[in-house]
Amino acid sequence: MIVDDSALYRQSLRNLLREMPDVEIVGSAKDGVDALDKIEKLDPDLLTLDVQMPEMDGLELLKELKRRKLRSKSIMVSSLTSQGAEATTEALMEGAFDFILKPFGGNSEKNRHDLQCQLTSKINAFRQSIGQKPVSATGSAERPIPQGRGVAEATPQAAAACQAVVLGASTGGPSALKKVLPRLPDRLSVPVFVAQHMPPQYTKSLAVRLNDVSVLQVVEAEEGMIAKPGMVVLGAGGQQMRVVKQGNSFQVQLTDDPPENGVRPAVDYLLRSVTQATNGNALAVIMTGMGRDGLESCRQLKQQGGHVMAQNQADCVVYGMPKAVVEAGLAERILPLGKIAPAIVRHIKRSQRS
pLDDT in tens, the chain (354 residues): 999 999 999 999 999 999 998 899 999 999 999 999 999 999 999 999 999 898 899 999 999 999 999 999 999 998 766 678 899 999 999 899 999 988 877 788 888 999 999 999 999 999 989 884 443 333 443 344 433 344 443 456 667 899 999 999 999 999 999 999 999 999 999 999 999 999 888 999 999 999 999 999 999 999 999 999 999 999 999 999 999 999 999 999 999 999 999 999 999 999 999 999 999 999 999 999 999 999 999 999 999 999 999 999 999 999 999 999 999 999 999 999 999 999 999 999 999 986
Closest CA to 99 of 22, 21, 171, 205: 171
Domains identified in the chain and CATH numbers: 2-131 (3.40.50.2300), 146-352 (3.40.50.180)
0.85 surpassed by pTM: yes
Q: How far apart are CA 4 and CA 52, in angstroms?
A: 8
Q: Give 65's DSSP letter.
A: H
Q: Where are the beta strands (DSSP E) in 79-128?
A: 98-101
Instruction: Reply yes or no on whether 347 is catalytic.
Output: no
DSSP state of 102: P
Terminal CA-to-CA distance of the chain, rounded, Å?
55
Phi first, then psi, for residue 260 (nearest 5°) are -120, 140
- Residue 265, preceding bond cis, omega within 30 degrees? yes
Of the residues 57, 129, 197, 214, only one is catalytic, namely 197
Instruction: Return phi, psi of residue 165, to 5°.
Output: -120, 135
Q: Do residues 232 and 214 make contact, with C-beta atoms less than 8 angstroms apart? A: yes
pLDDT score of 291: 94
- Residue 257 Cα to chain centre, angstroms: 21
Catalytic residue among 5, 268, 293, 315: 293
CA angle 101, 18, 8 (to 5 degrees): 55
Q: How many CB atoms lie within 10 A of CB 117?
A: 11
* DSSP 8-state code for residue 289: B
- CA–CA separation, 74 vs 119, rounded Å? 12
Residue among 12, 72, 170, 297 flagged as catalytic? 170
108 has catalytic annotation: no
Can you tell me the distance from the alpha carbon of 285 to that of 270, in angstroms, rounded to the nearest whole number?
13
Rg (alpha carbons) of the chain, rounded to whole number: 20
The pLDDT assigned to 136 comes to: 37
Do residues 318 and 129 touch, judged by C-beta distance below 8 A? yes
Catalytic status, residue 170: yes
For 55, phi and psi rounded to 5 degrees?
A: 70, -70
Asked whether the CA dihedral 88, 89, 90, 93 is positive or negative, the reply is: positive
